[in-house]
Structure 1
């Protein structure tokens, strides 16, 4: 099925070459977990600090569960933010 993957900050460099505006339309199996998606794009898990599915936060402990992603869902991932 096709979903939208959005990677922010320096994680955007891990998207496929044809990506625009930090997002890509990708094909994934229906039973994929969020950590499997994170691993597929070689995002170090500690760098997947904030993960949202259709704008709803998914905590670390729930990311190994087979997630009920649906076609056209949007998964957005942010790295940890540092600042002063």
Structure 2
């Protein structure tokens, strides 16, 4: 919603939609890279069973955690930058 409780414009809704899509896609990519880096050796090489299990489980834990953290951080950053400055006050970067 806008700063005064009104409805969002189409441009604001489109910006939110694009930002959500970016957050999900970048989080999926980051999670896949981390899973591949951690669990990849266990899938590609013959490692001792305990090491392979540890690598796979670590990858399975880290990937969703990173996915969630990336989505939240992108959306929080977008929410902070999308806020308009207060009327009548100068913005800190002017």
Higher relative helix content: 2
Q: Which structure features the higher share of strand residues?
A: 1
* TM-score, length basis structure 1: 0.21
Larger radius of gyration: 2
TM-score (norm 2): 0.20
